[in-house]
């Protein structure tokens, strides 16, 4: 067991039982011309998370620990995309519309791919999800929770984008299922810096109501120490 300096209390990382979770580091959110940009967002705001996630991936891979990537995307026929999600607002392009990286947020299109800098390695889990949270509607045989339990995973370390949307939703879902959750502050990002700050504060308030938070520097130093 390794103690990671964290807020509001240190996190006890259990080797082999702790999965690194990388939420939605897809071209559709991080690159121009994708879903994130279609909503009017400045995608460069997410780039600060890439190097910290790469460093965490390297640490997990060097130790042979489990890694789980998620992708927010829909079936090509959009049967898993509720009209309430597709039709709301006035985006420049809607989910399923053709864009410069293929059809927006559709599985198998270039935009739905994870960015090359963080590409999954052989054997890592890649979970396609139609919603914000990683436990809902993933159509995994048996379900993600059951697969994690089966693999003996009790601890989840969260990274990815965006902090207050898919990362926060997934961490809340995980907390309700009994996982010990840590979010890595510099390995997550938002289009809205203020929302990132407040989301992190909400997650760790009230004595760690959803989990705790640390930085990649603190986490990697503790692993190497
Ligand atoms: N728009 C936004 O901030 N996020 C999403 O729609 N999905 C994720 O957070 N991945």
Residues 159-178 have pLDDT tens digits of 999 999 999 999 999 999 99
Q: Is the distance from CB of 188 to CB of 223 less than 8 angstroms?
A: no
For residue 108, pLDDT beyond 90: yes
Give pLDDT tens digits for 185-222.
999 999 999 999 999 999 999 999 999 999 999 999 99
Half-sphere exposure of 51 (CA within 13 A, CB side): 3
Work out the average pLDDT over 91-106.
Answer: 97
Is 129 one of the annotated active-site residues of the chain? yes
State the DSSP string of 51-105: HHHHHHHHHHHHHT--EEEEEE-B-TT-TTS-HHHHSSS--SS-TTSEEBTEETT
Structure confidence at residue 44 (pLDDT): 98
Q: Whose CA is closest to 157, among 213, 222, 220? A: 213
Q: Which of 43-57, 63-77, 135-149 has the lowest mean pLDDT?
A: 135-149
Q: What percent of the chain has pLDDT over 70?
A: 100
**Token duo for residue 222:** 């503790």
Q: Give CA–CA dist 209/187, Å, rounded.
A: 20
Annotated active-site residue in 113, 129, 132, 181: 129
CB atoms within 10 A of CB 197: 14
Mean pLDDT of the chain: 97
Number of H helices, E strands in the chain: 8, 10
Q: What percentage of the chain has pLDDT greater than the value 90?
A: 97
Which candidate, 177, 204, 208, 176, places its Cα nearest to that of 188? 204
Which residues pair with residue 74 across a beta bridge?
106
219 Cα–ligand 1 center, Å: 25
pLDDT > 90? residue 142: no
The answer, yes or no, to whether residue 139 has pLDDT greater than 80, is: no
Q: Model's pTM, two decimal places?
A: 0.98
| Gap between the Cα atoms of 216 and 68, Å rounded | 17
97-123 per-residue burial string, b: 16 or more CB within 10 A, e: under 16: eebebbbbbbbebebbbbbeebebeee
CA 176 / ligand 1 centre spacing (Å):
21
18-23, strands of its sheet edge to edge: 125-129, 67-72, 18-23, 155-161, 180-189, 212-214
* Ligand 1 probe mutation, 161, 169, 193, most atoms within 8 A of CB: 161
Question: Kind of pairing, strands 11-13 and 2-4?
Answer: antiparallel
Ligand 1 atom closest to Cα of residue 190: 3
Contact between 135 and 174 (Cβ < 8 Å) = yes
pLDDT at 4: 98
Pocket test of ligand 1: the residue of 21, 22, 24 to mutate, having most ligand atoms within 8 Å of its CB, is 24
Question: 163 CA to middle of ligand 1, Å?
Answer: 8
Orientation of helix 168-176 relative to helix 193-208, angle to 10°: 20
Q: Which residue's C-alpha comes closest to atom 1 of ligand 1?
A: 36
**Has residue 140 got a pLDDT over 90?**
no
């Amino acid at each position: 067991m390794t103690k990671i300096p964290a807020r509001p209390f240190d996190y006890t990382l259990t080797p082999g039982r702790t999965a690194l979770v990388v939420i939605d580091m897809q071209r559709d959110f991080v690159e121009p011309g994708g879903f994130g940009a279609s909503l009017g967002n400045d995608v460069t705001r997410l780039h600060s998370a890439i190097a910290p996630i790469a460093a965490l991936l390297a640490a997990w891979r060097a130790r042979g620990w489990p890694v789980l990537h998620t992708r927010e995307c829909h079936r090509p026929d959009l049967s898993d995309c509720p009209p309430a999600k597709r039709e709301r607002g006035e985006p420049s392009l809607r989910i399923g519309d053709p864009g410069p990286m293929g059809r927006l947020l559709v599985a198998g299109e270039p935009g739905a791919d994870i960015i090359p800098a963080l590409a999954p390695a052989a054997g890592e889990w890649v979970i396609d999800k139609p919603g914000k949270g990683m436990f809902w509607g993933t159509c995994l045989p048996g379900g993600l929770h059951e697969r994690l339990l089966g693999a003996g995973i009790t601890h989840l370390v969260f990274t990815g984008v965006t902090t207050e949307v898919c990362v926060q939703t997934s961490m809340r879902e995980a907390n309700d299922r009994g996982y010990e959750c840590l979010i890595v502050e510099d390995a997550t990002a938002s289009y809205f810096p203020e929302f990132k700050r407040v989301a992190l504060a909400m997650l760790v308030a009230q004595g760690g109501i959803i989990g705790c938070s640390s930085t990649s520097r603190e986490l990697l130093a503790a692993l190497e120490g």
